[in-house]
Structure 1
Amino acid sequence: MGPVTVTPIRLIGDPVLRRKAEPVADFDAELQNLVRDLRETLADRRGAGLAAPQLGVSRRVFVIAPQLVEEGTVDHLVNPVLDFPDEEDQDGPEGCLSVPGIYLDTKRRLNVVAKGFTAHGDPVQVVGAGLLARCIQHETDHLDGVLFIDRLDAERQERLLAVTREAHWPDVKVSPH
């Protein structure tokens, strides 16, 4: 194992966060190093998940905090595709390492089935409910150039914009996703 590779996280306003990430084609040492960098950076920042675009890498891969996944299952997904087994929603607090200090209730689907690959190219499926489902949806959004603030209803978006103006953040824009 190489040296610890904690990488700076890209913040809101960085264009890489608004671009759709490229699918992973090569399941090689470079991809395995990226997954390691994501894991180590996530552990250092104590988040729930982290996607490659948040490290400035436009690839469709993310990691999930180990405490959210069952022992013996994967903590990352490459080229994820989501399916929703039902229509149930959840509404609860959500934040993002790329939008630090902001936590707002965000509506997500309660249950998700995510299919993708491991860093070694093995097919894998992760079934999630509650917080795990929220995390998988949040990180997959990052791969599509969508931030959680884009998922807020109009009232919550107004509250967010007011808070960021008061804090003198750079011009925060909410996408129509």
Structure 2
Amino acid sequence: MAIRTIRVFGDPVLRAVSAPVGEVDEGVRALVADLIDTVREPGRAGVAAPQIGVNLRAFSYNVDGSVGYILNPVVVEVRGEPVPTGEGCLSVPGLWHDALRHPYARVEGVDLDGEKVVLEGTGLMAQALQHETDHLDGMLYLQRLTPEERKVAMREIRESDWF
């Protein structure tokens, strides 16, 4: 339907815990279509609803040629010790830092028809599942950085043209 503008660091919607998706109506269907259109832009692995200004538990993903979405996702399993993983975020443009992420993640939720959806993977998929679910909990990847790395990132944000 539309490629939506990404909200950036400082926007309160990015810090709010997202509400569960209730009844699937035309608004929810339009949200999913917009999430899919928005994640298809080059260089995007995931887009969470808060990043386009909608406080609902939904995100889209675009990993290794697989594009999709999930409603009301919950991380049900992670495996392995968290390791520093190079990460960026559309809501914090231009920054790239090592966030602590588990090497495997499994997320469960539903689709527009209320059918169960299970997403899982390693590598970029595991990272995207954790990153996008964090967005729905009002958390940016900056909160997954070491204190020293977070100080560097915050300085970079203050010095950026977009902040």
Specify if TM > 0.5: yes
Who is 1:87 aligned against? Answer: 80
Structure 1 residues 85 and 41: alpha-carbon distance in aligned structure 2, compared to 1, 3 A threshold:
closer
| 2-structure distance, mates of 1:17, 1:85 | 24
| 2-structure distance, mates of 1:65, 1:85 | 20
Per-residue CA deviation, residues 58-117 of structure 1 (Å, 9 max, x unaligned), is 000000015364xxxx72111011122533323221111111001111111111111100
In the alignment, does 2:49 pair up with 1:23?
Answer: no
Aligned residues: 163
In the alignment, does 2:37 pair up with 1:44?
Answer: no
Structure 1 residues 68 and 84: alpha-carbon distance in aligned structure 2, compared to 1, 3 A threshold:
farther
By how many angstroms is 1:168 displaced?
A: 5.9
Who is 2:104 aligned against? Answer: 111
In the alignment, does 2:128 pair up with 1:131?
Answer: no
In the alignment, does 2:44 pair up with 1:11?
Answer: no
| 2-structure distance, mates of 1:91, 1:165 | 23
Determine which of 140, 144, 166 is the counterpart of 2:137: 144
| 2-structure distance, mates of 1:149, 1:127 | 23
SS in 2 for 1:139: helix
Q: CA RMSD in A?
A: 1.7
| 2-structure distance, mates of 1:109, 1:41 | 26
Per-residue CA deviation, residues 1-42 of structure 1 (Å, 9 max, x unaligned), is xxx411111111100000000000112332121111011112
Q: Larger strand proportion, structure 1 or 2?
A: 2
| 2-structure distance, mates of 1:92, 1:33 | 33
Who is 1:63 aligned against? Answer: 60
Q: Which amino acid aligns with 1:98?
A: S
Unaligned 5+ residue runs, structure 1?
A: 171-177
| 1-structure distance, mates of 2:7, 2:162 | 15
| 1-structure distance, mates of 2:50, 2:160 | 25
| 2-structure distance, mates of 1:109, 1:68 | 22
SS in 1 for 2:130: helix
Query: Which TM-score applies when normalising by structure 1?
Result: 0.85
Q: Which amino acid aligns with 2:128?
A: C
Structure 1 residues 63 and 111: alpha-carbon distance in aligned structure 2, compared to 1, 3 A threshold:
same
Unaligned 5+ residue runs, structure 2?
A: none
**2:78·2:102 contact (CA, 8 Å) conserved in 1?**
no
